Each structure stands twice: as C-alpha cells, then as structure tokens.
C-alpha cells in the first residue's frame, strides 16, 4: 500500500454500529437531504483525490477520507430504500465474483 498520512485517529470515542446509524440519521434530519448529498459529493471528491495521490506513491490521507465517505454513505443509506440497495449490492457482488474467479 502506498504511503498514507493521518492513519491514526484521535482516540477516545467508541460508538456502536447502532449509535453511529442513529447519529447519521440525526445529521440527515438536522441538515437535510440536499445538504448531506452535497457533503457526500464533497467527501467523495476528497477520497478520490487521496486515492490518486496514494496510487501515485504520494502521501495521502486515505484512511481519514475513507472514514469521511463511510460516514456520508451511512447517511445516504438512511435516505434510500435499504432493500433496493441490498439488491444492487448482491447483483454487483455477483458480477465481481465472476470477474475475480473468471
């Protein structure tokens, strides 16, 4: 793996998955879908930038940006139909399995 920076998060908090989902749902409720969709796009861009840096062997805050995107994805999941997402996930994992094993 390429060199990364900011791999160590400040210690202290330890939230359960349920607590994380609830905090993310609260963020969507407080700030609204549009705001959080724009924040998702922003965080995805930051992760993309970090991924390109890491792929080119440059220092990148890949881990921190991955955490940011995960937080925004959890928020997105709370806005969308989880059954539809799961159906797409299963379809795409099946396609990936074929590529990996083919």
Binding residues vs Mg ion (CB under 5 A): 43, 46, 65, 68
Q: Which of 82, 88, 80 is nearest to 28 (CA)?
A: 80
Which residue's Cβ lies closest to Mg ion? 68
Question: How far, rounded to the nearest angstrom, does the alpha carbon of residue 22 sit from its chain's CA centroid?
Answer: 16
Q: What's the min distance (Å) between Cβ of 49 and Mg ion?
A: 9
Closer of 60 and 68 to Mg ion (Cβ) = 68
Q: Which is nearer to Mg ion, 25 or 39 (CB)?
A: 39
**Which whole-number Å values give the CA distances from 32 to 47, 71, 74, in the listed order?**
22, 15, 14
The nearer residue to Mg ion, 43 or 53, going by C-beta atoms, is 43
């Amino acid at each position: 793996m390429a060199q990364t920076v900011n791999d160590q998060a400040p210690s202290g908090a330890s939230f359960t998955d349920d607590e994380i989902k609830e905090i993310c749902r609260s963020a969507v409720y407080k700030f609204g879908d549009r705001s959080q969709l724009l924040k998702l796009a922003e965080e995805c861009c930051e992760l993309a930038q970090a991924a390109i840096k890491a792929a080119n062997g440059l220092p990148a805050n890949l881990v921190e940006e991955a955490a940011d995107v995960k937080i925004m994805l959890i928020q997105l999941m709370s806005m969308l139909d989880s059954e539809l997402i799961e159906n797409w996930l299963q379809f795409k994992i099946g396609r990936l399995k074929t590529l990996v094993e083919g």
